[in-house]
Chain A
Amino acid sequence: MQSFRRFDRSTSLFIGLLIVSFLTATIDVRSQGAGIGDTLRDGTQSLFSPLQEAASVITRPVVGFVDGISNIAGLRDENERLRDRNKELEAQAQNVAGLQNRLEELERINNLDPPGDVLDVTAHIFSVGVSPFDHIRWINRGTEDGVVVGHTVVDEDGLVGRVDYVDETTARVRLITDTRNGVGVRDLDTNETGVAEGQGSAPLRLRMFNAVEPIEKGHLIVTEGGRYAPGIVVGSVATTAEAEAGFSLIAEVTPAVDFSRIDFVKVLVGWLPSEFTAPDDLSEPIPDAPDPFPGS
């Protein structure tokens, strides 16, 4: 008769914990981040955010010191890069007036609101993701400041990402580089539309499904609207690509935002995609910020 060796206690516990973990992940995926998962996140975040904010203050000089050291090492390269960039910008500046006219025309045609008119709240990034696969930022603004899930987040250079989780005092921003993110975009030069998909540590991948005209290196890509506020700079085309009949045009886009250097961002609380509705308690004006839903 075949004999079976019993699992030892640690192996039984190991298997049990794996089963619990898989069940938790399944429940979290099926509830799409809501339900028990949301409650657990709320609790954990409210416990950890004071610790993280305090640690952020303490570690900032260390980060600054390391940043300074690495900057010294790369100063010569940076100087050369800036010289090249200066030449590019001089060339681009000559086209700005024309582009501005085209942008205004596009906005009129598409009924887009210029992003400059949208109400915003400035937020500080106090924490980043805890693993190498995370492309998120935690900011010190929450529902108390009028931030809700779906709000677009920008900095002075362009599009940063989108709020995908929020509690009373903090919010999580999923960066446009996250592999789960796709941004509806428009090429300002050709007026063709497409989707810029996050690729983690790599540049964004631009897909244009019905493109007729080629897109060339240096073309400016802006948000088209939909899930993100329209007219925000996403980045510039890094690789020229030709349009071929029957194939989607694929190119790389360098994000306008330097994600390794962002510290403060703006949440566009005055603009929300139509897929989301404002919670009742946010229909009242916010104490320190203008009404995030004008006209509601």
Chain B
Amino acid sequence: MSGKHIIYALLLSIAGLVIQSTLFGESRINPFGAAPNLVLVLVVICAAYLEAEPALLVAFTSGLLMDLLGGSTIGLWAIALVVAAYVTLRVRDRIDDGVVVVAAGLLALSVLGHAIFAIASTLFGEQVFADPGWYRQIVLPSLYNLVVAAILIPLVSRAMGGRQVRRMV
């Protein structure tokens, strides 16, 4: 694993942030009141290709940037993305089990990332669960993430030099 791949992962994450904040969301593309979470998808996919430590650091940096560009307390998305990346590192050996397993895993990781954020936000006084439609803000983006992942996986794979998914944590 070269530093080049880590930089590519960071650049992909930054590009994801810029696209997320200008193309998706309220008053942008927002089908049924929700949009995919590009950064979360990119962090999970990159974690499948990078070594463990760089993958966690990329997740932490991406989360911190999300917090700084969003409206939440700094550190909450960092927590959510670091947890999502760590779980990805632990289960990425199962990636050869087929498309269905990968899709189910990605869906579960997306739900986990959003749920961790919602819980951490509540702990820090943000009233995420005061929104009666909070579950939609967790489930719908996770479903959209599956569609987005179908486009992003080949892109990330190419950025990582077509390398195989890593086996060891």
A interface residues with partner B (beta carbon < 8 Å): 8-11, 13-14, 17-18, 20-26, 28-29, 37, 40-41, 44-45, 48, 51-52, 55-56, 59, 62-63, 66, 70, 125-138, 164, 172, 174, 178-180, 197, 199-202, 259-263
Contact = CB atoms under 8 A, between A and B. Distances in A.
A59 B22 contact: yes
Given A63-B29, A132-B137, A180-B127, A199 B132 contact: yes
Contacts of A200: 128, 130-134, 137
A14 B27 contact: no
Nearest to B114: A132
Contacts of A138: 21
A215 B60 CA distance: 49
Contacts of A137: 27
Contact of B75 (A24, A70, A263): A24
B27 A262 contact: yes
A22 to B, nearest CB: 7
Contact of B118 (A45, A126, A133, A259): A133
A26 to B, nearest CB: 8
A9 B133 contact: no
A197 B76 CA distance: 23
B32 to A, nearest CB: 10
B131 A134 contact: no
A261 B79 contact: no
B74 A40 contact: yes
Contacts of B117: 131, 133
Given A134-B25, A201-B33, 7 more contacts: A10-B52, A14-B56, A21-B60, A48-B69, A132-B37, A202-B133, A259-B27
A56 B22 contact: yes
A262 B114 CA distance: 26
Given A52-B21, A125-B27, A128-B21, A25 B74 contact: yes
11 contacts: A17-B56, A21-B63, A24-B64, A26-B124, A28-B73, A128-B24, A129-B26, A134-B25, A134-B71, A134-B72, A179-B127
Interface residues of B, number: 66
Interface stretch (B12-20, B99-107, B147-155, B157-165): B12-20
B93 interface: no
Contact of B169 (A8, A136, A178, A199): A8
B112 to A, nearest CB: 14
B136 interface: yes
A133 B18 CA distance: 17
B79 A21 contact: yes
Count chain B CB atoms within 10 A of each CB in A25, A41, A44 and give the residue with the most: A25
Q: What 8 pairs across the A-B complex have the smallest Cβ distances?
A: A200-B131, A25-B75, A10-B52, A24-B75, A136-B71, A128-B25, A179-B127, A44-B68
A28 B74 CA distance: 6
Nearest to B82: A17
Contacts of B72: 131, 133-134
Given A10-B86, A17-B60, A21-B78, A45 B69 contact: yes
A37 B125 CA distance: 17
B79 A40 contact: no
B120 interface: yes
Contacts of A128: 21-22, 24-28
B91 interface: no
